[in-house]
Amino acid sequence: MKNFYQGDDAIKNYLNPHNKEYFPLVELDSDLNPYKDEGIHIYVKVMCTNPFMNIKMLPAWSMLENADLQGKKYAVEYSSGNTVTSMSVLASYFGLEGVKAIITGDVPEHKQKALRLVGADLIISQGDPTPKVNPPTGGIKEAIDMGQEDGYINLHQYINEFAPKASEEFIGKELVGVLGGDINTYCASIGTSGTLYGSAKYLKEKNKDTFVLASAIETGESIPGPRGRGALPFLGFDWQSVVDDVSYVRAKEAYGYSLKLIRKGLFLGPSSGMQYFSVLEYIKKMIDNGHKDKLKERGGNFVFLGCDTMHPYIDEYFKVLDIK
């Protein structure tokens, strides 16, 4: 594939994830994997090599591609992150005039500017934030209600079946295509839980023995993207059915381990750092408990995800890690 796009549909074809080869799967060297000499291999699936440099481009494309958009002018979504950023740009390629992004009033100014930069029309939610996917009030409810108005559609990323199907295709199938069923442990962070659910479900179907480790935010901590301990029971996808254990991570660990990846040339953000930390902690725990041999099963292969880059979070690295 020559990676060459020409004609009136050239940009759309360039953006279309179906037109790409596999996303990179990169093994960590011994500087990043202290267990490499033990026959344990740690890989990162770098999903942020797509044109928007974030994993949420994939469900955004999938939801738009599979939606009934006839007669619709605007998509409306409760999001201030990578999903609505991606959706705002992609909408025009699916015949929409634009995207209404419902956000909370505490979204930082620089993030609001980034959303406006890609064309999102911002609406400040009048309700209190809630982790529930079908709440009686708040931004999600406002998006659902607006989506029922003439000319509008709410894709509702929190329960849309085509969100996890994107990770099934671009993560699950690709990992099996490279490693077969030889995946000892698969780790992903829990955000809306669509990425985790779709990819892990596919991997479990191919090999039920693959251990799935979810990475979530410890109570009282703040890491952009994933959810915290208290929000997990309210998520819209059945992630519990495919997860074997949950690792709770603090901000300092997420940013610190992201920094280790960055300084080796893997420009991955804090949600990737928290997964990397979770994998290393799990391996250490298994060894400490006398289960080293189990870590070498299924090829000794461990995989986590590179969800986005560090670039949107530069200031946070200096604050959280107190970098001088």
Q: How many helices (H) and strands (E) does the chain have?
A: 12, 10
C-alpha span between 120 and 142 (Å, rounded)? 16
C-alpha span between 316 and 201 (Å, rounded)? 33
pLDDT of residue 126: 85
Which residues does residue 161 pair with via DSSP β-bridges, in sequence order? none
| Average pLDDT score over the chain | 96
Strands 74-78, 152-153: pairing is parallel
CA-to-CA separations, 249 to 219, 225, 228, 278, in angstroms, rounded: 9, 13, 9, 7
Query: Is 240 in contact with 193 (CB distance < 8 Å)?
Result: no
> pLDDT-derived band of residue 1, with 50, 70 and 90 as boundaries?
low
C-alpha span between 112 and 120 (Å, rounded)? 9
Q: Which secondary-structure segment (H or E) carries 7?
A: none
Task: Output the CATH code of domain 10-53+162-321.
Answer: 3.40.50.1100
Q: What are phi and psi of 132, to 5 degrees?
A: -75, 145
Edge-first strand listing for the sheet containing 211-217: 25-27, 41-46, 301-306, 185-189, 211-217, 245-249
pLDDT of residue 2: 82
Q: State yes or no: pLDDT of 100 exceeds 80.
A: yes
Mean pLDDT of 153-173: 97
Alpha helices in the chain (DSSP H): 10-15, 57-65, 82-90, 109-117, 139-147, 162-167, 173-179, 194-206, 251-262, 270-288, 292-295, 314-321
CA-to-CA separations, 157 to 64, 186, 291, in angstroms, rounded: 11, 23, 39
The amino acid occupying position 289 is: N
Mean pLDDT of 211-235: 96
pLDDT of residue 14: 97
Task: Output the CATH code of domain 68-153.
Answer: 3.40.50.1100
pLDDT of residue 161: 98
pLDDT of residue 324: 79
Q: For Cα atoms 54, 55, 56, give the angle at the middle one, nearest 5 degrees.
A: 95
Asked if 10-53+162-321 and 68-153 have one fold, the answer is yes
The amino acid occupying position 155 is: L
Q: What is the CA radius of gyration of the chain?
A: 20
Q: State yes or no: pLDDT of 319 exceeds 90.
A: yes
pLDDT of residue 131: 73
| pLDDT, tens digit (0-9, with 9 covering 90-100), for 265-288 | 999 999 999 999 999 999 999 999
Domain boundaries, the chain: 10-53+162-321, 68-153
Alpha helices in 8-151 (DSSP H): 10-15, 57-65, 82-90, 109-117, 139-147
Q: Which of 112, 115, 114, 144 is nearest to 127 (CA)?
A: 144
Q: State yes or no: pLDDT of 289 exceeds 90.
A: yes
pLDDT of residue 287: 97
